[in-house]
Amino acid sequence: MILDIVFAAGCFWGVEKHFENIDGVIDAVSGYAGGNYENPNYDQVLSYRNMQSKDFYEFLKTLGFADETLKEKTKDIVNHTEAVKVTYDSTKVSSEKLIKSFWEIHDPTQKNRQGNDVGNNYRSALFWTNDKQKSIAHKTKSDFQALLTANGYGKIVTEIQKLDKFWPAENRHQDYLAKNPNGYCPDHSTGIKFIPVKDNELLAQSISQTNEIITPLMGKEILVVNSEDINTCFFCLHFKADVVSKYQGSTPLRSATKSTIKDFDIDEVIATPTIFFIENGKQVSKHEGSLKPIQFYEQLGKFKFGESSEEYNVAFNKGTDPRFCQKYDLFKNTGEGQFVDALSGQPLFDTKYRFNSGTGWLSFTQPVNEQVYEKPDYSYGMNRVEIKSKSSDIHLGHVFNDGPDGKSRYCINATVLEFRPAKDS
């Protein structure tokens, strides 16, 4: 069956591009919806975006309104949103998949804006065309709100209403990013995703949760307290899939339930998951609810390194080790093995690509298995390429094009690494 649905999630160029690339979508058209005036155009929608502003009233004066009639003429105007009408084949892509994608591609908690795009024309809205879409929209809104709340976001402010009329935008706005590949296309997503809680792999992982009594370890550790039946805790599964199942760090991380923990000096568990950062059995800090990997590793960094430490400054403030620092001396001539992310434990660099650059920082010609990513860095008036860890998002160093034999030189801070000998790699 061929159906229509209309989404508003900020600037319509990026929204149109997103839905055009989903299999089963027949067409995505940029336009305007949700207002109460006829034949809207782009300039009009932009001008109406801040209806009580001085600029708005100046605009109305150009249309011939006298000062004393401005408020009376405009008090009942409802502006249109920048929206995208998605036409799709429901036998090839479900309404639920499209609506879930809508929630994921923007921040529905922002009122009358998306990022730096401010105005009521950028407000979040969903316009349904049949009762099934309406039901799915409200159900997924409730589910997504729970996820957002668990990750520290506020209340969803998205309008959900029946589509009255959709007005296609001017031709210059259709397929804008296809015509202008380097055009404006910001990412306003929260990073929160719907999790397939019935996925066999996730459920298999959850079933393996131990029921053994857990007592404190000496030193630092992480304790994740889940629901007694983890399969019933959406957020527990979420955190397990995103963080726990991938964690390889040297700080011990254990999962438990409230009934299986003993002799810990920690707060009462009132929500799951609760993530405790513990030293010698005593709580140092905690977080109630799921965390995204980046959030988890920043909290782990504070716990493991300390906020005033050199390691924390390098990892989270883009600091730099002193040349020939103590850890550099430890790592410059190790045996065979891998250098891993000091927080996540994921392998980053291998000794077979290490060389002595004479700079006083660890140097490699390449990373391991695409576990790092590059980012432009214009700090201090320089034009450099920053290297960050994919798993934890911590700062590692920079890459330069002056390595041996025409290769790259990855100049890496030793303090944010740990060494894993080859026999343990």
Q: Under CATH, domain 326-424 is a member of which superfamily? A: Peptide methionine sulfoxide reductase. (2.170.150.20)
* Range 327-339 burial, b when 16+ CB lie within 10 A, else e: bbeebeeeeebbb
404 DSSP 8-state letter: G
- The confidence band for 51, taking pLDDT boundaries of 50, 70 and 90, is low
Average pLDDT over residues 188-207: 57
What would the CATH number be for the domain defined by 2-179?
A: 3.30.1060.10
Identify the burial level of 288 via C-beta atoms within 10 angstroms of its C-beta, where 0-12 means exposed, 13-18 middle and 19 or more buried. Answer: middle
Higher pLDDT, 132 or 46: 132
Q: Residue 343: which residues within 8 A CB-CB, separation 6 or more?
A: 249, 297, 300, 301, 304, 315, 392, 394, 416
pLDDT in tens, 85-104: 999 999 999 999 999 999 99
Q: Based on the residue annotation, tell me whether 233 is a catalytic residue of this protein.
A: no
Asked if residue 61 has pLDDT above 70, the reply is no
SS3 of 134, please?
Answer: helix
Count other Cβ atoms within 10 Å, centred on residue 355.
14
pLDDT in tens, 203-251: 333 334 456 788 999 899 999 998 887 777 778 888 888 898 889 999 9
Residue 221: its pLDDT value, please?
A: 95
- The pTM of this model reads 0.54
Identify the burial level of 25 via C-beta atoms within 10 angstroms of its C-beta, where 0-12 means exposed, 13-18 middle and 19 or more buried. Answer: middle
Mean pLDDT of the chain: 86
The residue type at 340: V
Spell out the domain ranges in the chain. Answer: 2-179, 200-304, 326-424
Residue 200: its pLDDT value, please?
A: 41
Q: Of 11, 233, 236, 411, which residue is the catalytic one?
A: 11
- The confidence band for 75, taking pLDDT boundaries of 50, 70 and 90, is low
Mind giving me the DSSP string for 155-209? Answer: ----EEEE----EEPPGGGTTHHHH-TTS-------S-----TT-HHHHHHHHT-
* Range 178-189 burial, b when 16+ CB lie within 10 A, else e: eeeeeeeeeebe
Average pLDDT over residues 272-290: 94
Asked if residue 321 has pLDDT above 60, the reply is yes
SS3 of 37, please?
Answer: coil
Q: Does domain 200-304 have CATH number 1.10.540.10?
A: no
Locus of tokens 């093995």: 337
